[in-house]
Amino acid sequence: MYIAAAPVGACLALVLTFALHRLLVRGRLYRWFWHPVLADTALFVIVWALMVLWLRPFLEATLP
């Protein structure tokens, strides 16, 4: 059974984004953002892009 990589990566990025969101809230860093929802969206895109860029070579090396 094959699973598409994009939805799995997006779900993992979403979990990491939620964790980073909690850290930003605890650190009171959201007061520096003009639009916190836009900052959360940008954070999600950045986390997902970094996951794709950093994990792809590792996964390709481990697959037969």
Within a domain: 33: yes
Tell me if residue 2 falls in helix, strand or coil.
Answer: coil
Asked if 8 and 38 touch (Cβ cutoff 8 Å), the reply is no
Within a domain: 60: yes
- pLDDT for res 63: 66
Within a domain: 15: no
- pLDDT for res 38: 95
- pLDDT for res 64: 66
Domain that holds residue 63: 22-64
* 10-residue mean pLDDT series, the chain (64 residues): 83 96 92 91 96 79 70
pTM over 0.85: no
Count of alpha carbons within 13 angstroms of residue 8, beta-carbon side? 7
Within a domain: 32: yes
Q: Please give the torsion angle defined by the CA atoms of residues 43, 39, 21 and 55, in that order, rounded to the nearest 10 degrees.
A: 0
Q: How far apart are CA 35 and CA 15, in angstroms?
A: 21
Q: How many domains does the chain have?
A: 1
